[in-house]
A and B are shown apart, each in its own frame.
Chain A
């Protein structure tokens, strides 16, 4: 049963990801990206990472895609001069994709022979995912956690400086 759901969500994620990189209309790309994020969130639930699934929906599908949609509306390109999409560097991309695929296949070859089954008893037992997640975050990874706030501050200031220039113009 779990395998059925895994294949369902994995197929959905891969198909919508393919649509993201192949649709011509940028808005369609953005909408299919949202769909991909939802499927990835479902995969997280299968992996018993419920908190991350919620954050995925909240931050990725909720916030980052709102930002993308805003920018799609902001950069107004008249219908007549849409960017022509002819898939440049197709051979290079295909070669690279094939190389990556072969690499992954090579690495996985050993593990496929003796499939590492996931431990049935996940680390998140009775306490719940969010709580054990918080324990790890606020004790072992305290310093990275504080650094994240500095990173967000830097991003905020950088984005405001860039956008402010456009307002003042």
Chain B
């Protein structure tokens, strides 16, 4: 193990991350596989049908999602990108000073216009008013 790490100087800090991912994935796969070996498998139609409080299923399980979720998801994606731009700014904040502050305020200000637009249009209201 030590030899493995020493020969790998450039990306050394990432080796534990890589090992962590490998172990996590292997653990999941191995657990599922062992469970498949051990558990009994005797299916019949009633057992395979989805459980809906004991009554026979009425309609298909994949109901259509509410479209309001989608608007929330859009806002999440776009503000997530904004957050990605904020990280290097936060790291550099001390060096950039007032200049960097004004830069970022313009950036956030322009995006806030979109946020208020969504708010005014009622895209954020869960239940439509009136």
Contacts and interface: CB of A to CB of B under 8 A. Distances in A.
A76 B62 CA distance: 7
Nearest to B113: A153
Contacts of B67: 74, 163, 166-167
Contact of B114 (A71, A76, A134, A152): A152
Interface in A55-110: 55, 58-59, 62-64, 66-67, 70-71, 73-74, 76, 78-79
- Give the interface size bracket for B toward A: 35 or more
Contacts of B85: 137, 145, 148
B111 A149 contact: yes
Contacts, number: 138
Q: Say what secondary structure dominates the interface of chain B.
A: helix
A160 B65 contact: no
B23 interface: no
Interface in A103-140: 128, 130-131, 133-135, 137-138
Contacts of A160: 71, 74, 117-118, 121, 123
- Give the interface size bracket for A toward B: 35 or more
B73 interface: yes
A70 B65 contact: yes
Nearest to B7: A1
Q: Say what secondary structure dominates the interface of chain A.
A: helix
Contacts of A63: 76-77, 80-81
Contact of A146 (B65, B80, B106): B106
A156 B91 contact: no
A25 to B, nearest CB: 12
A156 B118 contact: yes
Given A156-B117, A164-B121, A67 B73 contact: yes
A152 B89 contact: no
Contact of B78 (A55, A130, A135, A156): A156
A64 B77 contact: yes
A44 to B, nearest CB: 11
Contacts of B71: 159-160, 163-164, 167
A142 interface: yes
B88 A145 contact: no
A18 interface: no
Given A149-B107, A163-B70, A76 B77 contact: no
Given A67-B74, A70-B65, A134-B88, A157 B117 contact: yes
What 4 A-B pairs come out closest when comparing CB atoms? A134-B88, A156-B114, A134-B92, A149-B110
